[in-house]
Chain A
């Protein structure tokens, strides 16, 4: 039987991360497991918002933490570990999104979408939420990876342009342009869809 982890989906506080990183680098691999336990919930949530509830998420999650382990010697504690990790999430997600653009888009199944819906909601609201999510992910899938990431960070996660630029490793101006372009593309697509659906 499974039980929900008592962990938050928000990035955890910085305190203690540096100590854990130092211990891992000193050879105590159990401390890396501790890092994983502290951060996995929010990484999973961010990853899901970034790439959608796709079946490859577990592979990506693995990739992220293996990349983190590989990159730990470069972490000097100047930024928070969560920011450092967020960059890896973005890189892995971006690479995945670029890959799936070259393949036919897999339609998200109701089971995949149900994971993101409140299980206590009424059947009607669950069905409505499922439709909305499917539509939102389908719209996001039409964006190029960089624009999708910028849109996700700024519009969906509510990060400032500077914060998002810091995570992505781009300038704030570039982020702004990406978000604006993403918005314009989405708006055009939604308008087209509305026209198509109109009787």
Chain B
């Protein structure tokens, strides 16, 4: 192939694409543009000039006060204005920070008993109560999770290093090394020096435990420096680092998979639990367990609320709901989840979005919100026999619950029948896809590859919630393997790893890929075996991987 052909071929896909913009998306962007244009129009001369002048004046005054106090050797109590290019003029005039600029922790998610007020502004000291969880960015270079009870203080933050002090509690951190700045975490009996990595520090009365999932950290303890590498953990009593496993590894994996900080303008979403619910997922990333409040990039978003089993992807045994909402910049939206559902059309609707809560200090109505529930289900759908319900028309949720109950009892035939009826009656409902997945899973378990394949094909035709996409693709790969389609299974597994890098099935998929490749050539299997041993040294396939690796010449 000559040069133009090769380039034309590589970019032909781009020539054909046309990114569509739907009307809701377009309207949302317009509302932001309109707000900016209104702001421009409403700015009179004194807003343009007087406030910046006043801000500059107060900045000079504060700087002078601070310099004088430093000169006199007194502790500095002065505050200086730190203008942000994104902040409005009013915010610039009033936004005050400590002169040492150590207020570098910007929380974006709090859950449990951690107060939602922490989401306001930046902090240099945080205390999280027992059972609380906080996620934050530190100087825009680190993403941290604090598990309560915990106390964290910023000791200093300059161009060379950010120094944190973890008095007690668990700190999980993903640090991106930029501009030669390192991160140091001081904790009882140890100091952890980080260059760029995913690691955790747990400070307890017994000392400090450091665990590293990616990269390397230096731990200075008892007058000596120990290096803790990837997949290792150092307990207070350890002389040398041990393999990372158990809760520490799970926490780090969960931290990595958690929802990222917002980019650009953000609003606050509060999720209030009426009853204890399962974890909440947002665009495939774990948000947490309610009650929680989170700063999210403004725009429409879908929360997937799962019950039991969602974390291990056994979605078929969970009740899954979707709440679509629109996050507006600087506003608070409230979603109430986990409550009981109305039993039939006409009952009181699910308490939904747009209400007020203790979190909604800036409370405002939502521009658009939708809670799919039974009311939205087709009223003209056929009504099969539902012996469990006395007269009332069975909803999709009820049918799904009935199937779940049958599965629990081990009556898979009844569960399958109920799920098939559900899919036939509510083909476009929110329970149709989970039901199809469950049918496919049961078919796979009984060795009926064709039925499983058929259901998976049907699932792939519909846009899936991200929480369902991963198990569907994984099951699809297993069906391909079981039915002997080796090439398709290999492609499926490779695609799965590319699409879901943080999947809980990654270890298993990697092991399968390595085994397949090992059957072909050692050379193609070796990198996969190495990766498996590096990432999952305690995994179920580790011994086998080591044995196979020894069979391969270097």
Interface residues in chain A, defined as those with a beta carbon under 8 Å from any beta carbon in chain B: 1-5, 9, 29, 32-33, 36-37, 40-41, 44-45, 48-49, 53, 55-56, 58-59, 61-62, 65-66, 69, 104, 110-111, 115-117, 119, 123, 127, 129, 132-133, 135-137, 139, 155-158, 183, 186-187, 190
Set of chain B residues within 8 Å of A156, measured between Cβ atoms: 11, 14-15
Tell me which residues from 455 to 491 in chain B have a Cβ below 8 Å from any Cβ of chain A.
457, 460, 463, 466, 491
Set of chain A residues within 8 Å of B466, measured between Cβ atoms: 111
Q: Which residue of A lies closest to B3 (CB)?
A: A187
- Determine whether the beta carbon of A66 is less than 8 Å from that of B37: yes
Set of chain A residues within 8 Å of B297, measured between Cβ atoms: 55
CA–CA, A156 and B16, complex, Å: 9
CA–CA, A5 and B13, complex, Å: 23
Tell yes or no: B263 within 8 A of A by CB. Answer: yes
Can you list 22 A-B contacts (CB < 8 A)? Answer: A5-B20, A5-B21, A9-B20, A41-B26, A44-B19, A44-B26, A45-B20, A55-B297, A62-B29, A62-B36, A111-B283, A111-B466, A123-B457, A129-B13, A133-B14, A136-B10, A156-B11, A157-B15, A183-B3, A183-B4, A187-B7, A190-B10
Q: Which residue of A lies closest to B35 (CB)?
A: A62
- Determine whether the beta carbon of A49 is less than 8 Å from that of B17: yes
- Determine whether the beta carbon of B11 is less than 8 Å from that of A136: yes
CA–CA, A116 and B19, complex, Å: 5
CA–CA, A131 and B7, complex, Å: 16
CA–CA, A152 and B90, complex, Å: 41
Question: Shortest CB–CB separation between residue B269 and chain A, in angstroms?
Answer: 17
- Determine whether the beta carbon of B23 is less than 8 Å from that of A4: yes
- Determine whether the beta carbon of B17 is less than 8 Å from that of A2: no
Set of chain A residues within 8 Å of B261, measured between Cβ atoms: none
CA–CA, A29 and B35, complex, Å: 12
- Determine whether the beta carbon of A1 is less than 8 Å from that of B10: no
Set of chain B residues within 8 Å of A69, measured between Cβ atoms: 33, 37
Q: Which residue of B lies closest to A137 (CB)?
A: B14
Tell yes or no: B6 within 8 A of A by CB. Answer: yes
Given contacts A136-B11, A190-B7, 16 further A-B contacts (CB under 8 A): A2-B24, A4-B22, A5-B20, A32-B37, A41-B20, A44-B19, A45-B20, A55-B263, A55-B297, A56-B263, A61-B29, A65-B33, A66-B37, A136-B14, A156-B15, A158-B15
- Determine whether the beta carbon of A62 is less than 8 Å from that of B32: yes
Question: Shortest CB–CB separation between residue A130 and chain B, in angstroms?
Answer: 8
- Determine whether the beta carbon of B11 is less than 8 Å from that of A155: yes
Q: Which residue of A lies closest to B466 (CB)?
A: A111
- Determine whether the beta carbon of B17 is less than 8 Å from that of A48: yes
Set of chain A residues within 8 Å of B13, measured between Cβ atoms: 129, 132-133, 136
Shortest Cβ-Cβ A-B pairs, 6 listed: A48-B19, A116-B17, A2-B22, A132-B13, A2-B24, A44-B21
Question: Shortest CB–CB separation between residue B475 and chain A, in angstroms?
Answer: 13
- Determine whether the beta carbon of B19 is less than 8 Å from that of A66: no
- Determine whether the beta carbon of A110 is less than 8 Å from that of B499: yes
Q: Which residue of A lies closest to B324 (CB)?
A: A1
CA–CA, A186 and B11, complex, Å: 11
CA–CA, A183 and B11, complex, Å: 11
CA–CA, A39 and B140, complex, Å: 36
- Determine whether the beta carbon of B284 is less than 8 Å from that of A111: yes
Tell yes or no: B49 within 8 A of A by CB. Answer: no
Partner of A133 from the list B17, B18, B20 (CB cut-off 8 Å) is B17
Instruction: Provide the B11-53 mask, 1 if CB < 8 A to any CB of A, else 0.
Output: 1011101111111111011101110110000000000000000
Tell yes or no: B250 within 8 A of A by CB. Answer: no
Set of chain A residues within 8 Å of B370, measured between Cβ atoms: 1
Question: Shortest CB–CB separation between residue A78 and chain B, in angstroms?
Answer: 25
CA–CA, A187 and B10, complex, Å: 10
Q: Which residue of A lies closest to B26 (CB)?
A: A40
- Determine whether the beta carbon of B33 is less than 8 Å from that of A2: no
Tell yes or no: B246 within 8 A of A by CB. Answer: no
Partner of B7 from the list A48, A115, A133, A155 (CB cut-off 8 Å) is A155
Tell yes or no: B264 within 8 A of A by CB. Answer: yes
CA–CA, A119 and B460, complex, Å: 10
- Determine whether the beta carbon of A127 is less than 8 Å from that of B29: no
- Determine whether the beta carbon of B33 is less than 8 Å from that of A4: no
- Determine whether the beta carbon of A123 is less than 8 Å from that of B284: no
CA–CA, A35 and B528, complex, Å: 54
- Determine whether the beta carbon of B6 is less than 8 Å from that of A40: no
Tell me which residues from 361 to 416 in chain B have a Cβ below 8 Å from any Cβ of chain A.
370
Which of B6, B7, B264 neighbours the largest number of chain A CB atoms within 10 Å of its CB?
A: B7
Q: Which residue of A lies closest to B500 (CB)?
A: A110
Partner of B264 from the list A37, A56, A136, A183 (CB cut-off 8 Å) is A56
Set of chain A residues within 8 Å of B28, measured between Cβ atoms: 58
- Determine whether the beta carbon of B18 is less than 8 Å from that of A9: yes
CA–CA, A31 and B297, complex, Å: 29
Which of B176, B466, B495 neighbours the largest number of chain A CB atoms within 10 Å of its CB?
A: B495
Tell yes or no: B342 within 8 A of A by CB. Answer: no
Set of chain A residues within 8 Å of B283, measured between Cβ atoms: 111
Tell yes or no: B299 within 8 A of A by CB. Answer: yes
Which of B4, B18, B370 neighbours the largest number of chain A CB atoms within 10 Å of its CB?
A: B18
Set of chain A residues within 8 Å of B491, measured between Cβ atoms: 127
Set of chain A residues within 8 Å of B29, measured between Cβ atoms: 40, 58, 61-62
CA–CA, A47 and B20, complex, Å: 11
CA–CA, A156 and B17, complex, Å: 10
CA–CA, A135 and B9, complex, Å: 12
Q: Which residue of B lies closest to A110 (CB)?
A: B499
